[in-house]
């Protein structure tokens, strides 16, 4: 028996990085899946890998900031599997690093639409089904950038702080329903999003310095975030609700400290 045996799960941003690793792990743990990404080839590739291991999965090309599309993939899960037990609203964009005076309203709107309104829409669409079942787990990917400065651009960080507030407020709005809502705050993870950082450091020969700011002194890998998502998705986390859990090698545990050996 897998830790998600019999559960019906949706994972967004499943074409790459953390979403792909989570979809693969959820499937290995027995979940039936609807996986979503705006890049069709990428999400299809994840689905093929899951099927190759014997998993059950539907892949959907959709934009998580489009309410009709979100309603569509949630309905797809309910009509194919008879309900939805887990939603992992993980898709996100970084927006890069743009100086404050060059940031425009459309630039902010795009990042907030994907990173913050996207999870809101997934919660809005899936929670009525979960309330009916009296049970469900919603997980969002926030970031250490939502906890304090210097882990991403301004709108990205604000969007992730918004995600942390979203899980706190929605967990309370769903008071008494049995639906749990939590976020994961990853530190620096090697994925498509952070590829430019890794490529740049490797080109400069400074890759041994990546991740040096946290006490584990290394960057993280997508399966390490997937394991946290698996815990929150499973009944092992039955009393964990309204939390934003850093999975960051200890980065957020410390003040800036110059005395490292
Ligand atoms: N990599 C890190 O260091 C890090 C750290 C903290 C938080 N995160 C968060 O983790 C999540 C996953 O990112 P990742 O690092 O795996 O990056 P990634 O770029 O490898 O994967 C993100 C996926 O989301 C998809 N996506 C983007 N916008 C979408 C949209 N509008 N609709 C549907 N799909 C969309 C992309 O196509 C991509 O496949 C994001 O929310 C990101 O902000 C990442």
Q: Ligand 1 mean position to 228 CA, how many Å?
A: 16
Is 209 a domain residue? Answer: no
Is 127 a domain residue? Answer: yes
* Residue nearest (by alpha carbon) to ligand 1 atom 23: 13
Q: Using most ligand atoms within 8 A of CB, pick from 15, 62, 112, 191 the residue to mutate for ligand 1.
A: 191
Is 254 a domain residue? Answer: no
Domain count, the chain: 1
Is 117 a domain residue? Answer: yes
Indicate the pTM of the whole model: 0.98
Q: Which of 158-162, 220-224, 254-258 has the lowest mean pLDDT?
A: 254-258
pLDDT (tens digit, 9 = 90+) per residue, 100-133?
999 999 999 999 999 999 999 999 999 999 999 9
- Token pair, residue 138, equals 């919603």
Q: Is 156 a catalytic residue?
A: yes
Domain containing 22 — which CATH number? 3.40.50.720
Say yes or no to pLDDT of 207 above 80.
yes
Is 259 a domain residue? Answer: no
Is 149 a domain residue? Answer: yes
Is any atom of ligand 1 closer than 6 Å to the C-beta of 8? no
* Active-site hit among 107, 156, 219, 239: 156
Give the number of the atom of ligand 1 that is nearest the alpha carbon of residue 118.
Answer: 31
Is any atom of ligand 1 closer than 6 Å to the C-beta of 157? no
pLDDT (tens digit, 9 = 90+) per residue, 30-75?
999 999 999 999 999 999 999 999 999 999 999 999 999 999 999 9
pLDDT at 1: 84
Q: How far is CA 227 from CA 20, 125, 186, 224, 239, in A?
A: 12, 25, 12, 5, 17
Is any atom of ligand 1 closer than 6 Å to the C-beta of 248? no
Q: Ligand 1 mean position to 65 CA, how many Å?
A: 13
Q: What b/e string do you get for 147-183 counting C-beta neighbours within 10 Å, with b at 16 or more?
A: beeebbbbbbbbbbbbbbebbbebbeebeebebbbbb
Q: Using most ligand atoms within 8 A of CB, pick from 11, 12, 17, 143 the residue to mutate for ligand 1.
A: 17
pLDDT at 79: 98
Instruction: For residue 221, give every residue at least 6 positions away whose Cβ sits within 8 Å of its Cβ, in sequence order, or none.
Output: 21, 189, 190
Is any atom of ligand 1 closer than 6 Å to the C-beta of 13? yes
Q: Ligand 1 mean position to 19 CA, how many Å?
A: 7
Is 51 a domain residue? Answer: yes
Is 226 a domain residue? Answer: yes
Mean pLDDT across the chain: 97
Say yes or no to pLDDT of 185 above 70.
yes
Give the number of the atom of ligand 1 that is nearest the alpha carbon of residue 19.
Answer: 16
Domain that holds residue 182: 8-189+221-248
Percent of the chain residues topping a pLDDT of 70: 99
pLDDT at 261: 62
Percent of the chain residues topping a pLDDT of 90: 97
Q: Ligand 1 mean position to 225 CA, how many Å?
A: 12
Give the number of the atom of ligand 1 that is nearest the alpha carbon of residue 141.
Answer: 41
């Amino acid at each position: 028996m897998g830790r998600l045996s019999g559960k019906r799960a949706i994972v967004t941003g499943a074409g790459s990085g953390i979403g792909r690793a989570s979809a693969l792990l959820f499937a290995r743990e027995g979940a039936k899946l609807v996986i979503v990404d705006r890049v069709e080839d990428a999400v299809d590739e994840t689905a093929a890998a899951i099927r190759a291991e014997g998993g059950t999965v539907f892949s959907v090309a959709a934009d998580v900031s489009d309410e009709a599309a979100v309603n569509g993939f949630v309905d797809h899960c309910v009509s194919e599997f008879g309900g939805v037990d887990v939603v992992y609203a993980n898709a996100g964009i970084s927006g890069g690093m743009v100086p404050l005076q060059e940031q425009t309203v459309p630039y902010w709107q795009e990042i907030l639409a994907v990173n913050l309104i996207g999870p809101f829409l997934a919660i809005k669409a899936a929670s009525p089904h979960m309330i009916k079942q009296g049970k469900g787990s919603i997980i969002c990917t926030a970031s250490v950038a939502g906890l304090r400065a210097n882990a991403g651009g301004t709108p990205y960080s604000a969007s992730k702080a918004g995600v942390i507030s979203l899980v706190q407020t929605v967990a309370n709005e769903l008071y008494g329903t049995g639906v749990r809502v939590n976020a994961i705050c990853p530190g620096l993870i090697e994925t498509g999003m952070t590829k430019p950082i890794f490529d740049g450091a490797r080109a400069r020969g400074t890759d041994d310095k990546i991740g040096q700011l946290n006490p584990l002194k290394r960057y993280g890998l997508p399966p390490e975030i997937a394991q946290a998502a698996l815990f929150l998705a499973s009944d092992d986390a039955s009393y964990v609700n309204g939390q934003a859990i850093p999975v960051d090698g200890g980065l957020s545990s410390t003040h800036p400290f110059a005395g490292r050996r």
